[in-house]
A = this chain, B = another copy of it.
């Protein structure tokens, strides 16, 4: 068994990077190649998980069940995984995904809301699926809180729990302390999912592995939301250099990245002003547009708004706060002038 088991997320997190426009042909080609490269897990879902294809989260070009099925059909080695955010996806969605061959599910909640994952984790285990708890925006909780929430997910039946750095906001020492605490407090596997907003996806991933994480997410050609994830083919190369086995064929991964994935991208993944701002502020990417609109209206810098939202630990669903923050700033600026 490999030392580190990688889940490839280009067909899920990477769905954000191509505006959820994957076709059955693309997913078939990519999943077949990843399967040949012996990637243990391939995640295939809308970027926001099962049921994510909505006006709010972005409509998928293709029904995600068709994409999942396409991947299942060509993967005789790799297990196909799906993501589920309770509130967006439902138990019914999970059962359908399982029925067409998904073998693993990752139940994702905000880092302080693990309790909403209970029924989904229990159902997944009943279905016989490998089940992962996925604690998003992990930078927003102190270590003790993170441990408490991870233990909850494990108590519901999760085989593994992931520290998910959704905003790409964590620094290596912050990853280390989080993974170390989980490894000492949990019985199951500990995983790490990085974003590259601060150009630290790889550095943070190595810090996580050093502290005992054995489940790691990667995205081929760095394809993911914001600044993308840990670039899988690069991760495989780095781990090979370190003598850590992933079971994955490095040359095949390099070729998939270069000759299959890169050509379908509307633009290469890089760290732009927006991506960096999100990582620096530690906020959801969905705040970006709201902040830009509010910035225009109140004549303040959208970055100042986002940083203030990060300081106040505003989470999804509290978008109204963005207007309040911008208005306050404008008032303050006026007072200063």
Interface residues in chain A, defined as those with a beta carbon under 8 Å from any beta carbon in chain B: 171-172, 196, 198-204, 206-207, 221-222, 230-231, 233-235, 237-238, 240-242, 250-251, 254-255, 257-258, 262, 267-273, 276-277, 279-280, 301, 303
Contacts and interface: CB of A to CB of B under 8 A. Distances in A.
Interface of A is mostly: helix
Contact of A276 (B230, B242, B254, B273): B254
Contact of A199 (B234, B242, B258, B267): B234
10 contacts: A171-B238, A172-B206, A196-B199, A199-B230, A199-B231, A203-B207, A251-B303, A254-B277, A254-B303, A258-B273
Nearest to A235: B199
Given A203-B203, A303-B251, A276 B233 contact: yes
Contacts of A280: 237, 240-241, 250
B255 A273 contact: yes
A171 B270 contact: no
Contacts of A258: 272-273
Contact of A242 (B171, B204, B251, B268): B171
Lowest 10 CB-CB distances: which A-B pairs, in order?
A203-B203, A199-B202, A258-B273, A268-B270, A237-B280, A268-B268, A199-B234, A254-B273, A198-B238, A200-B202
Given A171-B242, A237-B276, A271 B199 contact: no
A302 to B, nearest CB: 11
Contacts of A251: 301, 303
Contacts of A262: 272
Contacts of A267: 268
A301 B251 CA distance: 10
A22 to B, nearest CB: 20
Contacts of A204: 203
A304 B267 CA distance: 30
A270 B270 contact: yes
A209 to B, nearest CB: 11
Given A171-B238, A202-B203, 6 more contacts: A198-B202, A199-B201, A199-B235, A234-B276, A255-B273, A268-B268
Contacts of A198: 202, 234, 237-238, 241
A238 B199 CA distance: 9
